[in-house]
Amino acid sequence: MNDISLPAAQDPLAGQPHQIVERDGVRYTLLGTAHVSRTSVETVRAAIASGDYDTVAIELDAGRLQALTDPDALSKLDLVKVIREGKTHLFAANLALAAYQRRLAEQLDVEPGAELKAAALDARERNLPLHLIDREVGLTFKRALSRLGWWGRAKISAGIMMAMFADEEVGDDEIEKLKQGDLLESSFGEFAAESPALYESIIAERDRYMAARLRESVTYASGAREVLAVIGAGHLHGMAEHLRDDAESPVTVRAALESVPEKSKVPWFTIALAAFLVGGFAWGFYRGGVDVGADLIVQWVLATGLLGALGCAIAGGHPLSILAAFISSPLTPLHPALASGTVSAFVEAAMRKPTHADFMALRDDVQTVRGWWKNRVARILLNFFLTSLGTAIGVWTGGLRMVGKLFG
């Protein structure tokens, strides 16, 4: 690994953070960029224009590249499918990232990731092979969330909601960190600092993943000899180290870092809650007869159903969505793979299908509190979170009332 040492007049990378790794007959030039720097954009374009490279790789996945290059990407999203597949949290995380990027763009008058966009467009214009080496954002968050308990997931969900609502300026410290680091790290760094699992998934392991993807994508057989990899400056050292030293097959590394650790196949909390409810209802019928047993069931249904429906109503849900929340809230806590928020959001999306205009206005609307209730896409997300929150409160309220009734 050596730094380029050509005169500045001949070298577009002079003065910019970069490292070179030669491996398997291919020379990889890793260019560390700042995601909010015009200089980085100019450097990337000059490097590609120099003709020194036959292949370009960038720190993006397909979804993020589409978001950067296609303004209408959001309007093509099938939100009903997102909800059905249980990807609502991931969609919200992407919105939080988009909101953060929007704030940066307005504050600095520079589009975050503009150098990555320029690299992609210039490579295509010159018919150079383009490789996307970053891991898909949704997969990164899946790996992180799979390692967290319910309290950790709740904190992340609350943080994502706050990030989407936030409209204050990005602090100077954050901007300086972004210039030396990574967009995902800056966006969710506050959570990552408090959670080793989140830090590992969002920041640390992506160095190894991108190095493996680079090796896998750019093989000797592909004809690539001079590869320019445009990455955030924060990944420069880690990627160079993995690219140089990792002996394991890149296919094996990628597969391992794309897998989501399985949760315990035994849903202990759900089993415990079901056992508590069934036992409590049975004990109520046994001790107090039909009147006490029926009263316990009614109290559970009302506590969970009414609070779940209230959350949906606060989100401005359709009457049928509110009814769906009321019906599902007493039942979904007993199903480990289903949430009342998913049910009510699904009904909401079906009854009030978002329009093209809703998707186009989404990034603007989520900047204001009023916009959340005005925009149908945002309102579906609110529906999901607030219905789930109401049901969760209802579970604890109904459970405590049952304990009081049985042992009071």
What are 119-140's pLDDT values in tens digits?
Answer: 999 999 999 999 999 998 778 8
Helix (H) or strand (E) holding 142: helix 137-146
pLDDT computed for residue 341 by the predictor: 92
Which percentage of the chain shows pLDDT scores above 90?
38
What are 231-276's pLDDT values in tens digits?
Answer: 988 888 889 999 999 999 999 999 999 987 666 555 677 788 888 8
Given the DSSP bridges, would you call strands 18-23 and 26-33 parallel, antiparallel or unpaired?
A: antiparallel
Q: What residue ranges in 200-242 does DSSP mark as E strands?
A: 226-232
Residues 158 and 140: their CA atoms lie apart, in Å, by: 18
Q: How far is CA 138 from CA 143, 231, 243, 289, 340, in A?
A: 9, 19, 24, 51, 22
What are 10-34's pLDDT values in tens digits?
Answer: 678 888 889 999 998 899 999 988 7
Alpha helices in 315-368, H assignment, sequence order: 319-328, 340-351, 356-365
Residues 387 and 1: their CA atoms lie apart, in Å, by: 54
CB 29 within 8 A of CB 229: yes
Average pLDDT, the chain: 81
What are 50-89's pLDDT values in tens digits?
Answer: 999 999 999 998 888 887 887 666 666 777 777 877 777 6
Looking at the whole model, is its pTM more than 0.85?
Answer: no
What is the dihedral sign for C-alpha 290, 293, 295, 301? Answer: negative
Instruction: Count CB neighbours of 317 within 10 A.
Output: 27
